Structure 1
Amino acid sequence: MSSTDLVPSTGAQAVQTLARTDGRQFLTFRIGAEEYGLDILRVQEIRSYEAPTRVANAPAFVKGVVNLRGVIVPILDMRIRLGQASEYNAFTVVIVLNVAGRIVGVVVDSVSDVLELSADEIKPRPEVAAALDARFITGLGKLGERLLILLDIEAMIKSPDFGLVD
Protein backbone atom coordinates (compact mmCIF):
# COMPACT_ATOMS: atom_id res chain seq x y z
CA MET A 1 0.00 0.00 0.00
CA SER A 2 1.49 3.34 -1.01
CA SER A 3 1.14 6.61 0.86
CA THR A 4 -1.13 7.91 -1.91
CA ASP A 5 -3.67 5.17 -1.08
CA LEU A 6 -4.20 6.83 2.31
CA VAL A 7 -5.01 10.25 0.81
CA PRO A 8 -8.47 10.63 -0.75
CA SER A 9 -8.60 11.89 -4.30
CA THR A 10 -9.41 15.54 -4.95
CA GLY A 11 -12.92 14.59 -6.12
CA ALA A 12 -13.63 12.66 -2.91
CA GLN A 13 -12.34 15.57 -0.82
CA ALA A 14 -14.67 17.95 -2.64
CA VAL A 15 -17.67 15.69 -2.00
CA GLN A 16 -16.77 15.33 1.70
CA THR A 17 -16.35 19.10 2.06
CA LEU A 18 -19.66 19.71 0.28
CA ALA A 19 -21.41 17.22 2.56
CA ARG A 20 -20.08 19.04 5.63
CA THR A 21 -21.15 22.49 4.43
CA ASP A 22 -24.43 21.54 2.73
CA GLY A 23 -26.55 22.31 5.82
CA ARG A 24 -26.93 25.27 8.12
CA GLN A 25 -25.74 25.22 11.71
CA PHE A 26 -28.01 26.18 14.58
CA LEU A 27 -27.38 26.76 18.26
CA THR A 28 -30.18 24.96 20.07
CA PHE A 29 -31.61 26.08 23.40
CA ARG A 30 -34.59 25.41 25.65
CA ILE A 31 -37.29 27.67 26.95
CA GLY A 32 -39.70 25.70 29.08
CA ALA A 33 -40.51 22.43 27.31
CA GLU A 34 -39.77 23.82 23.83
CA GLU A 35 -36.50 23.55 21.96
CA TYR A 36 -35.45 26.40 19.68
CA GLY A 37 -32.65 26.96 17.22
CA LEU A 38 -30.99 30.07 15.88
CA ASP A 39 -28.36 30.67 13.23
CA ILE A 40 -24.97 29.97 14.84
CA LEU A 41 -23.44 32.84 12.84
CA ARG A 42 -25.41 35.31 14.99
CA VAL A 43 -23.92 33.98 18.25
CA GLN A 44 -21.00 35.88 19.72
CA GLU A 45 -20.72 33.96 23.01
CA ILE A 46 -22.61 32.11 25.72
CA ARG A 47 -22.35 33.34 29.31
CA SER A 48 -23.72 32.24 32.64
CA TYR A 49 -26.56 34.43 33.88
CA GLU A 50 -25.65 37.27 36.20
CA ALA A 51 -28.15 39.87 37.32
CA PRO A 52 -27.96 42.92 35.03
CA THR A 53 -28.33 46.55 36.05
CA ARG A 54 -32.02 47.47 35.80
CA VAL A 55 -33.18 50.17 33.40
CA ALA A 56 -36.03 52.43 34.54
CA ASN A 57 -39.37 52.09 32.71
CA ALA A 58 -38.15 49.18 30.57
CA PRO A 59 -40.61 46.43 29.58
CA ALA A 60 -40.64 43.41 31.90
CA PHE A 61 -38.71 41.23 29.43
CA VAL A 62 -35.81 43.75 29.36
CA LYS A 63 -33.92 42.63 32.45
CA GLY A 64 -31.39 45.46 32.19
CA VAL A 65 -27.89 45.98 30.84
CA VAL A 66 -24.44 44.55 31.48
CA ASN A 67 -20.99 45.88 30.67
CA LEU A 68 -19.37 43.31 28.40
CA ARG A 69 -15.72 44.29 27.89
CA GLY A 70 -16.64 47.98 27.57
CA VAL A 71 -19.82 47.47 25.53
CA ILE A 72 -23.19 48.10 27.19
CA VAL A 73 -25.36 45.11 26.26
CA PRO A 74 -29.13 45.00 26.79
CA ILE A 75 -30.29 41.70 28.33
CA LEU A 76 -33.67 40.39 27.16
CA ASP A 77 -35.38 37.49 28.90
CA MET A 78 -36.84 35.43 26.06
CA ARG A 79 -38.74 33.33 28.58
CA ILE A 80 -40.75 36.32 29.79
CA ARG A 81 -41.19 37.54 26.20
CA LEU A 82 -42.67 34.15 25.28
CA GLY A 83 -44.93 34.02 28.35
CA GLN A 84 -42.95 31.35 30.21
CA ALA A 85 -42.05 31.23 33.89
CA SER A 86 -38.65 32.78 34.54
CA GLU A 87 -36.90 30.92 37.33
CA TYR A 88 -33.14 31.47 37.38
CA ASN A 89 -30.96 28.46 38.17
CA ALA A 90 -27.51 27.04 37.41
CA PHE A 91 -28.55 26.17 33.83
CA THR A 92 -29.87 29.64 32.96
CA VAL A 93 -27.59 31.27 30.39
CA VAL A 94 -27.31 34.40 28.30
CA ILE A 95 -26.68 33.97 24.59
CA VAL A 96 -24.84 37.07 23.39
CA LEU A 97 -25.86 37.82 19.82
CA ASN A 98 -24.62 40.16 17.13
CA VAL A 99 -27.78 41.13 15.24
CA ALA A 100 -28.90 44.17 13.31
CA GLY A 101 -25.56 45.85 14.03
CA ARG A 102 -26.08 45.53 17.80
CA ILE A 103 -24.85 43.29 20.57
CA VAL A 104 -27.81 41.87 22.55
CA GLY A 105 -28.01 39.20 25.24
CA VAL A 106 -30.99 36.86 25.46
CA VAL A 107 -31.76 34.80 28.56
CA VAL A 108 -32.80 31.18 27.98
CA ASP A 109 -33.32 28.18 30.26
CA SER A 110 -30.36 26.23 28.86
CA VAL A 111 -28.25 25.72 25.76
CA SER A 112 -28.35 22.26 24.23
CA ASP A 113 -25.87 21.95 21.38
CA VAL A 114 -24.94 23.00 17.86
CA LEU A 115 -26.68 21.05 15.11
CA GLU A 116 -26.28 21.04 11.37
CA LEU A 117 -29.56 20.67 9.50
CA SER A 118 -29.82 19.95 5.80
CA ALA A 119 -32.54 21.59 3.71
CA ASP A 120 -34.51 18.30 3.87
CA GLU A 121 -34.57 18.47 7.68
CA ILE A 122 -36.08 21.97 7.73
CA LYS A 123 -39.85 22.10 7.27
CA PRO A 124 -41.96 25.21 6.58
CA ARG A 125 -43.28 27.11 9.58
CA PRO A 126 -46.81 26.29 10.66
CA GLU A 127 -49.52 28.92 10.26
CA VAL A 128 -51.00 28.71 13.76
CA ALA A 129 -51.54 31.24 16.52
CA ALA A 130 -48.80 31.10 19.14
CA ALA A 131 -47.09 33.20 21.78
CA LEU A 132 -44.34 33.77 19.22
CA ASP A 133 -45.32 35.70 16.10
CA ALA A 134 -45.04 33.34 13.10
CA ARG A 135 -42.99 35.89 11.15
CA PHE A 136 -40.13 35.22 13.60
CA ILE A 137 -40.14 31.48 12.84
CA THR A 138 -38.17 30.46 9.76
CA GLY A 139 -39.20 26.83 9.95
CA LEU A 140 -39.16 23.67 12.01
CA GLY A 141 -36.08 21.50 12.21
CA LYS A 142 -36.79 17.79 12.36
CA LEU A 143 -33.94 15.66 13.58
CA GLY A 144 -35.11 12.18 14.50
CA GLU A 145 -37.75 12.67 17.19
CA ARG A 146 -36.54 16.18 18.00
CA LEU A 147 -38.50 19.14 16.70
CA LEU A 148 -36.77 22.52 16.80
CA ILE A 149 -38.49 25.86 16.35
CA LEU A 150 -36.03 27.76 14.14
CA LEU A 151 -36.02 31.48 14.88
CA ASP A 152 -35.21 34.47 12.73
CA ILE A 153 -33.54 36.22 15.65
CA GLU A 154 -32.58 39.26 13.57
CA ALA A 155 -36.21 39.93 12.55
CA MET A 156 -37.24 39.42 16.17
CA ILE A 157 -34.70 41.89 17.54
CA LYS A 158 -35.51 44.44 14.79
CA SER A 159 -39.20 44.17 15.58
CA PRO A 160 -40.88 47.27 17.08
CA ASP A 161 -42.12 44.93 19.86
CA PHE A 162 -38.57 44.82 21.19
CA GLY A 163 -37.92 48.54 20.81
CA LEU A 164 -34.16 48.10 20.42
CA VAL A 165 -33.53 49.12 16.82
CA ASP A 166 -34.74 52.32 15.18
Structure 2
Amino acid sequence: MVELPVPSSERTLALGEKTETFVTFWLGEFYFGLPISEVVEINRKLEITPVPLAPAYIRGIVNLRGQVLTAIDLARRIGLDGENAAEYNLIVRDEDEDKVSLLVERIGDILEVPVESIEEPPEKIEGMERRFVRWVCQLPERLLVILHTRELFQESG
Protein backbone atom coordinates (compact mmCIF):
# COMPACT_ATOMS: atom_id res chain seq x y z
CA MET A 1 0.00 0.00 0.00
CA VAL A 2 1.27 3.48 -0.91
CA GLU A 3 1.11 6.30 1.62
CA LEU A 4 -0.96 9.30 0.55
CA PRO A 5 1.28 12.24 -0.36
CA VAL A 6 1.65 15.19 1.97
CA PRO A 7 -0.62 18.14 1.10
CA SER A 8 0.73 20.42 -1.57
CA SER A 9 1.25 24.08 -0.75
CA GLU A 10 1.04 25.73 -4.16
CA ARG A 11 -0.15 28.93 -2.49
CA THR A 12 -0.89 30.06 1.03
CA LEU A 13 -4.57 29.96 1.94
CA ALA A 14 -6.20 32.84 3.81
CA LEU A 15 -7.29 32.08 7.35
CA GLY A 16 -10.88 30.86 7.29
CA GLU A 17 -10.93 30.44 3.50
CA LYS A 18 -13.25 27.58 2.46
CA THR A 19 -11.43 24.83 0.61
CA GLU A 20 -11.99 21.41 -0.95
CA THR A 21 -9.36 18.68 -0.71
CA PHE A 22 -8.55 16.38 -3.62
CA VAL A 23 -6.32 13.37 -4.25
CA THR A 24 -4.60 14.09 -7.56
CA PHE A 25 -3.19 11.79 -10.21
CA TRP A 26 -2.03 11.74 -13.82
CA LEU A 27 -3.26 10.04 -16.98
CA GLY A 28 -0.99 11.05 -19.83
CA GLU A 29 -0.70 14.83 -19.85
CA PHE A 30 -3.97 15.32 -17.93
CA TYR A 31 -3.98 16.17 -14.20
CA PHE A 32 -7.04 14.79 -12.41
CA GLY A 33 -8.48 14.93 -8.95
CA LEU A 34 -11.06 13.13 -6.84
CA PRO A 35 -12.55 14.43 -3.58
CA ILE A 36 -10.49 12.96 -0.75
CA SER A 37 -13.69 11.72 0.92
CA GLU A 38 -14.21 9.28 -2.00
CA VAL A 39 -10.70 7.77 -1.93
CA VAL A 40 -10.24 4.75 0.33
CA GLU A 41 -6.60 3.89 -0.41
CA ILE A 42 -3.88 3.73 -3.05
CA ASN A 43 -2.08 0.51 -3.97
CA ARG A 44 0.69 -0.20 -6.43
CA LYS A 45 0.04 -2.84 -9.12
CA LEU A 46 -2.50 -5.27 -7.69
CA GLU A 47 -2.83 -8.48 -9.69
CA ILE A 48 -5.72 -8.18 -12.15
CA THR A 49 -7.75 -11.19 -13.25
CA PRO A 50 -9.40 -10.63 -16.67
CA VAL A 51 -13.18 -11.01 -16.95
CA PRO A 52 -14.53 -12.44 -20.23
CA LEU A 53 -17.09 -10.38 -22.16
CA ALA A 54 -16.62 -7.31 -19.94
CA PRO A 55 -16.74 -3.83 -21.52
CA ALA A 56 -13.38 -2.65 -22.92
CA TYR A 57 -12.79 -0.22 -20.04
CA ILE A 58 -12.99 -3.01 -17.44
CA ARG A 59 -9.56 -4.60 -17.12
CA GLY A 60 -10.85 -7.31 -14.76
CA ILE A 61 -11.11 -7.85 -11.02
CA VAL A 62 -8.67 -7.45 -8.14
CA ASN A 63 -8.61 -9.12 -4.74
CA LEU A 64 -8.13 -6.52 -2.02
CA ARG A 65 -7.69 -8.40 1.28
CA GLY A 66 -10.49 -10.82 0.43
CA GLN A 67 -12.78 -8.22 -1.16
CA VAL A 68 -13.24 -8.54 -4.94
CA LEU A 69 -13.29 -5.18 -6.76
CA THR A 70 -13.79 -4.24 -10.39
CA ALA A 71 -10.62 -2.79 -11.96
CA ILE A 72 -11.47 0.05 -14.35
CA ASP A 73 -8.96 1.36 -16.88
CA LEU A 74 -9.71 5.01 -16.14
CA ALA A 75 -8.14 6.37 -19.33
CA ARG A 76 -10.37 4.16 -21.49
CA ARG A 77 -13.42 4.84 -19.32
CA ILE A 78 -13.28 8.60 -19.77
CA GLY A 79 -12.40 8.40 -23.46
CA LEU A 80 -8.71 9.33 -23.49
CA ASP A 81 -6.78 8.13 -26.52
CA GLY A 82 -3.71 5.95 -26.29
CA GLU A 83 -2.48 3.25 -23.97
CA ASN A 84 -1.62 4.22 -20.44
CA ALA A 85 0.86 2.43 -18.24
CA ALA A 86 -1.30 1.98 -15.13
CA GLU A 87 0.99 1.76 -12.13
CA TYR A 88 -1.48 2.43 -9.32
CA ASN A 89 -4.85 1.19 -8.13
CA LEU A 90 -6.79 4.11 -6.71
CA ILE A 91 -9.53 2.51 -4.57
CA VAL A 92 -12.61 4.74 -4.49
CA ARG A 93 -16.17 4.46 -3.27
CA ASP A 94 -19.44 5.92 -4.47
CA GLU A 95 -22.48 7.14 -2.50
CA ASP A 96 -23.64 3.53 -1.97
CA GLU A 97 -20.24 2.65 -0.45
CA ASP A 98 -19.44 0.33 -3.40
CA LYS A 99 -15.69 0.19 -4.01
CA VAL A 100 -13.90 0.10 -7.36
CA SER A 101 -10.24 0.15 -8.36
CA LEU A 102 -9.39 2.91 -10.84
CA LEU A 103 -6.15 2.26 -12.71
CA VAL A 104 -4.04 5.42 -13.00
CA GLU A 105 -0.51 6.17 -14.22
CA ARG A 106 0.95 8.32 -11.47
CA ILE A 107 -0.19 9.66 -8.11
CA GLY A 108 0.10 13.41 -7.49
CA ASP A 109 -0.42 15.34 -4.25
CA ILE A 110 -3.19 15.89 -1.79
CA LEU A 111 -4.30 19.32 -2.96
CA GLU A 112 -6.35 21.83 -1.00
CA VAL A 113 -8.14 24.19 -3.40
CA PRO A 114 -10.11 27.35 -2.53
CA VAL A 115 -13.81 26.77 -3.26
CA GLU A 116 -14.11 29.98 -5.31
CA SER A 117 -11.52 28.71 -7.79
CA ILE A 118 -13.57 25.56 -8.59
CA GLU A 119 -15.71 26.03 -11.71
CA GLU A 120 -18.21 24.16 -13.86
CA PRO A 121 -16.50 22.42 -16.79
CA PRO A 122 -16.73 23.95 -20.27
CA GLU A 123 -19.27 22.51 -22.69
CA LYS A 124 -16.57 20.91 -24.84
CA ILE A 125 -13.57 19.21 -23.31
CA GLU A 126 -10.93 18.15 -25.79
CA GLY A 127 -9.94 14.50 -25.57
CA MET A 128 -12.45 13.10 -23.06
CA GLU A 129 -16.16 12.68 -22.41
CA ARG A 130 -17.59 15.72 -20.58
CA ARG A 131 -20.06 13.72 -18.48
CA PHE A 132 -17.17 12.34 -16.41
CA VAL A 133 -15.97 15.84 -15.45
CA ARG A 134 -17.57 17.31 -12.33
CA TRP A 135 -15.51 20.51 -11.97
CA VAL A 136 -12.32 22.14 -13.18
CA CYS A 137 -9.85 24.33 -11.36
CA GLN A 138 -7.19 26.50 -12.99
CA LEU A 139 -4.01 26.13 -10.94
CA PRO A 140 -1.02 28.44 -11.51
CA GLU A 141 0.72 26.06 -13.96
CA ARG A 142 -1.98 23.58 -15.07
CA LEU A 143 -5.66 22.69 -15.14
CA LEU A 144 -7.01 20.28 -12.50
CA VAL A 145 -9.88 18.16 -13.85
CA ILE A 146 -12.08 16.85 -11.03
CA LEU A 147 -13.87 13.67 -12.00
CA HIS A 148 -17.47 12.70 -11.27
CA THR A 149 -17.28 9.35 -9.45
CA ARG A 150 -20.97 8.53 -9.84
CA GLU A 151 -20.68 8.79 -13.64
CA LEU A 152 -17.57 6.58 -13.65
CA PHE A 153 -19.57 3.84 -11.92
CA GLN A 154 -22.57 4.06 -14.29
CA GLU A 155 -23.01 1.58 -17.14
CA SER A 156 -22.34 3.01 -20.60
CA GLY A 157 -25.47 3.78 -22.52
Whether these two folds match at TM > 0.5 is yes
Q: Percent identity?
A: 27
Q: Number of residue pairs matched?
A: 142
1:3 aligned residue: none
For residues 48 and 64 of structure 2, what CA distance do their matches in structure 1 show?
11
Q: Which one of 55, 60, 75 corresponds to residue 59 of structure 1?
A: 55
What are structure 2's unaligned runs of at least 5 residues?
1-13
Equivalent in the alignment of 1:153: 149
Q: Report which of the two has the higher share of helix.
A: 1
Aligned partners of 2:73 and 2:102 also within 8 Å = yes
2:67 matched to 1:84?
Answer: no
Instruction: Return 5+ residue gaps in structure 1 as ranges.
Output: 1-14
TM-score (norm 2): 0.81
Higher RCO, Cα 8 Å, sep 6+: 2
Which consecutive segments of 4 or more residues in structure 1 shift more than 6 A?
none
Q: Do 2:24 and 2:33's aligned partners in 1 also have CA atoms closer than 8 Å?
A: yes
RMSD between superposed Cα atoms in Å: 2.0
- 2:85 aligned partner, one-letter code: Y
Specify the structure having the higher radius of gyration (Cα).
Answer: 1
**Compared with structure 1, are the counterparts of its residues 79 and 69 closer, same or farther at alpha carbon in structure 2 (3 Å cutoff)?**
same
Match of 2:10 in 1: none
User: Mapping of 1:1-166 within 5 angstroms?
Assistant: 16=15, 18-19=16-17, 22-81=18-77, 82-88=79-85, 92-99=87-94, 100-128=96-124, 130-157=126-153, 159-161=154-156
Q: TM-score, normalised by structure 1?
A: 0.77
Q: Please give the alpha-carbon distance, in whole angstroms, between the structure 2 residues aligned to 1:130 and 1:161.
A: 20
